[in-house]
Structure 1
Amino acid sequence: MADNPYRELPPTAFWRTGVAEAGLFGLQGLWKSPWRLPSDARFSTFGSCFAQHISRALVARGVTWKDAEPAPGRTPDELARKYNYGVFTARTGNIYTAAQLLTWTRLALGEMPIEAIEIWEGPEGRFHDTLRPKIEPDGFESIAEARASLATTARAFRRAFAEAEVFVFTLGLTEGWEDASTGQCWPLCPGTGVGTFDPARHVFVNYDYPRIRADLEAAMALMRGVTPGLRFLFTVSPVPLVATASGGHVLVATTHSKSVLRAVAGDLAAACEEVDYFPSYEIIASPPARATFFEPNMRTIAPEGVNLVMTHFFAGLDISAPPERGEAQDGAQDGAAARQKASEAEMAAEDLVCEEIILEQFNDG
């Protein structure tokens, strides 16, 4: 046979040897970070529900996770988590779409005023900021209090990319809702958690590849304008949609959403040295897994699946370069990390903060 490029490929380049014969727990070389990071590199984490596993795993492995908005001193762990402290690097709640990420970046840099974010008054007379509708379980006492809290989180979000080496973002959804007049995007459809749905104002958007890529590129450019050396690690959540407003079947909508997000993340990683992609989606949702790691509801990821994802994550992560700041400055962890010292298996079993799940209560089937 004539020589050809396939002769020199490793076994992992072929499906039979790389996947079929290796088996799910024998998969190797799924990811290798192109970056050699300092041993004290700081990681910021945001995104959909699945992103919370990454922050927990970083803490459990002794890697510095940036907590830019810790709970007030001596706040009990359970109460802090109830009020969404220590879930993401800043108290943003879930950031499901690239449009939301860009909004947060603009708020953090003052390109968008805090007053641009609409505040809703609930029937109980409490107030909710529409970018974080469930951040306070009972809402805020006043509009001023809601905006003050939002401003605090915007400042913390700025620290999340100004004081970190790696910004980890888990892409979750292509579907979202926007205000027809202002263009503000929401993490939840108005009227599903708080607020009142107005069909004349509240428009469903299924973000396409060009819009998602443009929003991510804009957000990255703004962040790197502050921190030129910032790196971005994208993942795609393997968790299916709770519901779709696209008019199609939720299974088809889920496949479409994840496919678009995966394409954008992969293409950005191929095009930009400062961007990488970690295949959490493939580990859980690809054929070798045979849906092994989905709980009976076919949506929740079992702890064993989370642990396998994190095993591959740390196998490919390179934090072997000498420390840049010294242990005295940041120590092993930042802020709320002390509350997350449980084993990875125990952490994986905890309930995630997932605002999207509220949509299930509208299922009359």
Structure 2
Amino acid sequence: MKRHPYDGLPRYANWRRALVGVPPADVDPVVSFPFKLSATDRIATAGSCFAQHIARHLRRRGYNYFCTEAAHPMLSAEQAQQYNYGTFSARYGNLYTARQLLQLFQRAHGQFSPADEAWQEADGTWLDPLRPQIQPGGFASLRELQADRRAHLAAVRKLFAELDVFIFTLGLTETWRARSDGTVYPVCPGVSGGVFSAEQHEFHNYTHEEVVADMLAFIDALRSVNPRARVILTVSPVPLMATAEDRHVLVSTTLSKAVLRVACDSIIKAREEVAYFPSYEIITGAYTRGSYYADDLRSVTEPGVAHVMKLFLKHATDRPAQQAPVPAQNPAPAQSDAHLARSAHLVEVNCDETALDDGTD
């Protein structure tokens, strides 16, 4: 007979039995998942840099990765990647915050039109303030930028209307926005284009309550155009590149990720057909002893990504037999540097936030 609620706990509920002495690759913090993805489901992704890994593995495993903004057939695969086609389900670049996602939906459906329409650079080219790195070298004219934006937002409308599952990786709470109308930028103006102005731009660090409100507003808006849509939330394990708060970047990272993780818990309790997948916990858990990060302490190594995707395929899809194997934790010494470089590249290749690091010490 039980003497108290902690008698007879399942293994997963006890730290020692669930983690101590268990090989890192065998740790599985997913107890249950509310629904299964099928091979025919149209699966879309958006979010921070880490979300790119999910798209890459789903495509590799033969799932129906849904893209509505494809590159022109004349572009090579390398050129398409350079111009950010296929990185996410549409060419929106990194969506680090819940407010960015909500504003994307509103812009696509004619509910919000940012006053900061375009940036003209010193060389005469034009940049989209909400996608400053989407077009290498910028657009040749304002008309070209506007035409590309119209096509992009049409692709976003199609995406939201026709997807079956939307996977969103929340990355940050810190952001910069326009003082005039609250438009949220993916990176501070002046970093990857445009000109920073303290009179026009302001820093904001989103609270738990704001993140929850924005995500619930987005989910309700998504369901208004696509009632069957299911949503999977994750939190990026990639630390902040830099913080605009007057404190250590480690402290800001911890706060930001904590806010996002708690927000996810509130969101899944408030809406049905919304699930949380613990990518963040799998990568950052103490049981890994840091082995899932490269030497820069930010980039997630391929063994870490493989561990996440192995468990995602096992619990969230109907084809667990095709789960991805986890590569060896310690590559041969001769291959180690190249392995870490490749792993870092996979995360950083299309990451707006990396522009915040000027490389100085």
1:156 is paired with a residue whose SS is helix
CA distance in 1, matches of 2:348, 2:220: 34
Deviation at residue 56 of structure 1 after TM alignment: 0.6
Q: State whether structure 2 residue 68 is matched by structure 1 residue 68.
A: yes
CA distance in 1, matches of 2:31, 2:229: 20
2:292 is paired with a residue whose SS is coil
1:29–1:316 Cα contact (<8 Å) kept: no
User: Aligned runs of 1:152-167 on 2, under 5 Å?
Assistant: 152-167=151-166
CA distance in 2, matches of 1:130, 1:210: 27
Q: What is the CA RMSD across the aligned residues, in angstroms?
A: 1.9
The aligned counterpart of 1:197 is: 196
Residues 347 and 252 of structure 1: is their aligned pair in 2 closer, same or farther, counting only changes over 3 Å? closer
Deviation at residue 55 of structure 1 after TM alignment: 0.4
User: Aligned runs of 1:46-125 on 2, under 5 Å?
Assistant: 46-113=46-113, 116-125=115-124
Q: State whether structure 2 residue 36 is matched by structure 1 residue 36.
A: yes
2:210 is paired with a residue whose SS is helix
Deviation at residue 317 of structure 1 after TM alignment: 1.2
CA distance in 2, matches of 1:270, 1:7: 27
CA distance in 1, matches of 2:74, 2:50: 28
Q: State whether structure 2 residue 351 is matched by structure 1 residue 354.
A: yes
In structure 1, give the amino acid aligned to 2:305. V
Report how many aligned residue pairs link the two structures: 339
In structure 2, give the amino acid aligned to 1:298. L
Q: State whether structure 2 residue 319 is matched by structure 1 residue 288.
A: no
Percent of aligned pairs sharing the same letter: 40
Deviation at residue 26 of structure 1 after TM alignment: 2.0
User: Aligned runs of 1:211-222 on 2, under 5 Å?
Assistant: 211-222=210-221
**Structure 1 residues 10-68: Cα deviation after superposition (integer angstroms, max 9, x where no partner):** 11111111111323222135253211344311110000000000001101111110011
Deviates more, 1:17-26 or 1:59-68: 17-26
TM-score (norm 1): 0.88
Deviation at residue 150 of structure 1 after TM alignment: 1.4
**Structure 1 residues 192-246: Cα deviation after superposition (integer angstroms, max 9, x where no partner):** 1101110111100111111111111111111110001111101000001110001
1:65 is paired with a residue whose SS is coil
Residues 293 and 284 of structure 1: is their aligned pair in 2 closer, same or farther, counting only changes over 3 Å? same
Misfit runs of 4+, over 4 Å: 345-351
The aligned counterpart of 1:261 is: 260
1:52–1:352 Cα contact (<8 Å) kept: no
Deviates more, 1:249-258 or 1:155-164: 155-164
The aligned counterpart of 2:131 is: 132
The aligned counterpart of 1:176 is: 175
Q: State whether structure 2 residue 24 is matched by structure 1 residue 24.
A: yes
Deviation at residue 3 of structure 1 after TM alignment: 3.8
Residues 257 and 351 of structure 1: is their aligned pair in 2 closer, same or farther, counting only changes over 3 Å? closer
In structure 2, give the amino acid aligned to 1:32. S
The aligned counterpart of 1:206 is: 205
Deviation at residue 143 of structure 1 after TM alignment: 1.6
Deviation at residue 351 of structure 1 after TM alignment: 5.2
Residues 159 and 9 of structure 1: is their aligned pair in 2 closer, same or farther, counting only changes over 3 Å? farther
The aligned counterpart of 2:338 is: none
The aligned counterpart of 2:326 is: none
**Structure 1 residues 142-193: Cα deviation after superposition (integer angstroms, max 9, x where no partner):** 2222122112111111222211111000000001001111211100101111
In structure 2, give the amino acid aligned to 1:64. N
CA distance in 1, matches of 2:90, 2:67: 7
Residues 346 and 255 of structure 1: is their aligned pair in 2 closer, same or farther, counting only changes over 3 Å? closer
2:7 is paired with a residue whose SS is helix
1:5 is paired with a residue whose SS is coil
1:117–1:129 Cα contact (<8 Å) kept: no
Deviates more, 1:187-196 or 1:6-15: 6-15
Structure 2 unaligned residues grouped into runs of 5+: 320-341
**Structure 1 residues 116-139: Cα deviation after superposition (integer angstroms, max 9, x where no partner):** 452000011000111101111111
CA distance in 2, matches of 1:96, 1:47: 6
Structure 1 unaligned residues grouped into runs of 5+: 321-344
TM-score (norm 2): 0.89
2:44–2:66 Cα contact (<8 Å) kept: yes
CA distance in 2, matches of 1:164, 1:263: 26
